[in-house]
Amino acid sequence: MADIILASQSPRRKTLLEWANIPFEIVVSDSDESFPETMAKQEVPVFIASNKAKAVLEKLEQLQEPHQQKDALKDFCIIAADTIVLLDQLILGKPLDRQDAVNSLSLLSGRSHQVITGVVVLYQGKEYAFSETTQVDFHSLTLAQIEYYVDHYKPFDKAGGYAIQEWIGVIGIKGIQGDFYNVMGLPVSLLVQKLKQLGID
């Protein structure tokens, strides 16, 4: 069986792969998270995930002994993911500070947005990519609720400034359409099916 490498330091993605009973190791490497301005927003998560996966592949290649390189790498399966929050055509990234988080949640309040996670799997020299979209419908939130959440949960590492599995998601989200775990950061059931198709499970 191939060694599965999760190219992410997100604790949620780690937790989700563990819940799926998939054995894996974490290897991360810095990569460029920018994207071409003209790119369709829906394609951004796969584009960034692809760069994350390639950066980890390079790192692993550098760690290999030169003579082992080609064969040894065939046994790695690298999984990378990137999640964006899309409100109409506006990407809401990780908040820069408290005010940015409050602004982000104020924009999401009382409306529907999309959470898109792009996943890239590098295996045996090939790249497999897919993305999954979940619609999330927020109740109207009061400013007091938003500030309470931001001050107590400090969602600065979360796209859009919230986590669906935290207080704000429990009391503030009316419903979703699609995969809940995709909103947490990884469309696990689709990933499991993809790994099965590739003969990795």
- Show which residues are catalytic: 82
Of the candidates 106, 107, 101, the residue with the CA atom closest to the CA atom of residue 89: 107
- Chosen residue from 1, 40, 144, 170 binding a copy of itself by CB under 8 A: 170
Using CB under 8 A as the binding rule, the residues of this chain from 88 to 147 that contact a copy of itself are: 134, 139
Check binding of 198 to a copy of itself (CB under 8 A): no
- Chosen residue from 26, 87, 192, 198 binding a copy of itself by CB under 8 A: 192
**In the structure encoding, which two tokens stand for residue 59, read together?**
């790192």
Do strands 112-123 and 90-92 pair parallel, antiparallel, or not at all (unpaired)? unpaired
- Sole window of 23-31, 52-60, 72-80, 189-197 interacting with a copy of itself (rule: CB under 8 A): 189-197
CB of 155 to a copy of itself, least distance (A): 15
- Chosen residue from 70, 75, 171, 197 binding a copy of itself by CB under 8 A: 171
Check binding of 16 to a copy of itself (CB under 8 A): yes
**In the structure encoding, which two tokens stand for residue 87, read together?**
């409100």
**In the structure encoding, which two tokens stand for residue 50, read together?**
């692809």
- Chosen residue from 9, 19, 39, 74 binding a copy of itself by CB under 8 A: 19
Q: How many residues does the chain have?
A: 201
Check binding of 47 to a copy of itself (CB under 8 A): no
- Encode burial over 157-193: b for 16+ CB neighbours within 10 A, e otherwise: ebbbbbbbeeebbeebbeebeebebbbbbbbbebbbe
**In the structure encoding, which two tokens stand for residue 180, read together?**
């809940």
Residue numbers of the site for a copy of itself (CB under 8 A)? 16, 19-21, 134, 139, 164, 166-167, 170-181, 188-189, 192-193
